[in-house]
Amino acid sequence: MRVHESRSGQAMVLGIVFLSIGVILLLGLFRLSLVVRDKIRLQLTADLALKSALNAEANGLNAIAMANRAMLSDDALAAQVNTLVSETTFYRRLIDGFGRIIRFIPGGGLAFSVALGRGGRAVEALARRGARILIPVARIHRTVIGSEQRLVRASLPFVTLRAAGLSASENFPGSSISPVSQAFLLKQARSVSSGMAPLPGSDTTRIIRATLNPHTLRRNWRISLGAISLPVKKRGGTWVLPDDFAAFDQLKVKRFRHLHWSWKTVLSSGSRASGFGYRSHSRTLNISRGNFIPGLTLLMESQAPHFSEGLSGYEKKLYAVSSGEIYYERPGKPEERTNLFNPFWRSRLIPVSRETTARHLVPRLILKEIRH
């Protein structure tokens, strides 16, 4: 008796085998896609964290630059108010001299002379009263701005680290900045903070002179009738002393004496800002290239994704590296030297291979993979 064998189940066995292989491949591809997704997300988070840290440094430098400008503005205000005192005193004395002549004019000359003298003295008193108020206020404001500037400088490393940490935690929860990277970040931020130094006295004087308006620095005029210049001229200006402003105004006439012509001062006035409460010039900061490190590399790490549905997760970590730098560039004037008097500090990402601290921070194997 022949037994009939059915072979229809063999195809089902092969189908189950191929289906199992396909499912395993699909699950592996799914797992790989999650790893790639987390890798891309971690890299973007590293870029954002680094950009946040560099932006914090650039904003701090711009804040210090604005503080420098504010303190220089206070110095300029003190110099201009002091100039106003000297100038009003000069013209009051000039008016008094003319008043002595006008009073002899019949028909109201005396009354006009008295009114003119009172007006000149009132303007001078108003200028002096304004100087007694404005110069101390400018000094107090400059002191407050200087304290804020020192606070920004001292807190720059901690603000930079906090900005990077907040950006990392918000964009990729579970990721972290490498402890070694945090140490390098603090070192770089401290180099930026310690790279600021007070300007020497000669440079401070030069910058203050550049801040003052032309009328404060020089107030000259000369009387002329057409093309003929009369032998009368007025000279005035402001001297920027090491810790003070000295304003002067003089009226000179030309005279012939000892067989030659010479100028003689017949009327003068002067004023010092220290007489109204001015103490010293601003202690502005500028960049000292000796300790300044503009570049920064950030290494971030995160656990690879785990799978709970019967699949073993990767225990190794994911890494992401990002490099950047802060730089100074004034729009329209790229040749301008780096300074802390204009708020044009910016940040940008750069290739990891260009950043010098990357080789000390990133393991050699990871750095090789990044560069190649």
In the block, tokens 């191929």 appear at 18
State the DSSP H helix or E strand holding residue 350, giving kind and residue range, or none if neither: strand 345-350
If asked whether residues 33 and 64 sit together in one domain, one would say yes
Judge whether 264 lies within some domain: yes
Q: Which two tokens stand for residue 117?
A: 């003298």
If asked whether residues 166 and 254 sit together in one domain, one would say no
Cβ count within 10 A of residue 334: 8
State the DSSP H helix or E strand holding residue 340, giving kind and residue range, or none if neither: none
Alpha helices, DSSP H, located in 241-288: none
Looking at 228, 259, 276, the residue that finishes a domain is 276
pLDDT at 67: 94
Residues 6+ apart with CB under 8 A from 31: 305, 307, 311
Judge whether 261 lies within some domain: yes
* Integer Cα distance of 85 and 272 in angstroms: 9
Q: CA 85 from chain center: how many Å? A: 33
* Integer Cα distance of 191 and 259 in angstroms: 67
Looking at the chain, the whole-number percentage of residues with pLDDT higher than 70 is 86
Q: What residues does 252 pair with on adjacent strands?
A: 233, 265
Judge whether 342 lies within some domain: yes
If asked whether residues 242 and 287 sit together in one domain, one would say no
Residues in the chain, pLDDT under 70: 1-10, 13, 28, 225-229, 289-290, 304-316, 356-372
This prediction's pTM = 0.81
If asked whether residues 253 and 340 sit together in one domain, one would say no
Judge whether 229 lies within some domain: yes
Looking at 228, 243, 276, the residue that finishes a domain is 276
Looking at 276, 296, 316, the residue that finishes a domain is 276
Q: CA 331 from chain center: how many Å? A: 15
If asked whether residues 128 and 208 sit together in one domain, one would say yes
* Integer Cα distance of 229 and 261 in angstroms: 15
pLDDT at 371: 46
If asked whether residues 316 and 208 sit together in one domain, one would say yes
Judge whether 157 lies within some domain: yes
If asked whether residues 112 and 134 sit together in one domain, one would say yes
Judge whether 203 lies within some domain: yes
What is the per-residue pLDDT across 269-306, written as a single tens digit (0 to 9) for each? 999 999 999 988 888 888 876 678 888 888 888 876 65
| Amino acid identity for residue 134 in this structure | L
SS3 265: strand
pLDDT at 367: 52
Look up residue 354 and give its DSSP letter: G
SS3 175: coil
Q: What residues does 345 pair with on adjacent strands?
A: 328
If asked whether residues 295 and 234 sit together in one domain, one would say no
pLDDT at 365: 46
If asked whether residues 222 and 189 sit together in one domain, one would say no
* Integer Cα distance of 225 and 255 in angstroms: 19
Judge whether 3 lies within some domain: no
Judge whether 21 lies within some domain: yes
If asked whether residues 112 and 229 sit together in one domain, one would say no
Across the beta sheet with 244-257, what order do the strands follow?
221-225, 228-241, 244-257, 260-272
If asked whether residues 130 and 220 sit together in one domain, one would say no
Structural domain of residue 22, as residue ranges? 10-214+280-371
What is the per-residue pLDDT across 300-345, written as a single tens digit (0 to 9) for each? 888 766 543 434 444 467 888 899 999 999 998 888 988 999 999 9
Q: What's the structural domain count of the chain?
A: 2
What is the per-residue pLDDT across 63-96, written as a single tens digit (0 to 9) for each? 999 999 999 999 999 999 999 999 999 999 999 8
If asked whether residues 252 and 224 sit together in one domain, one would say yes
CB 359 within 8 A of CB 328: no
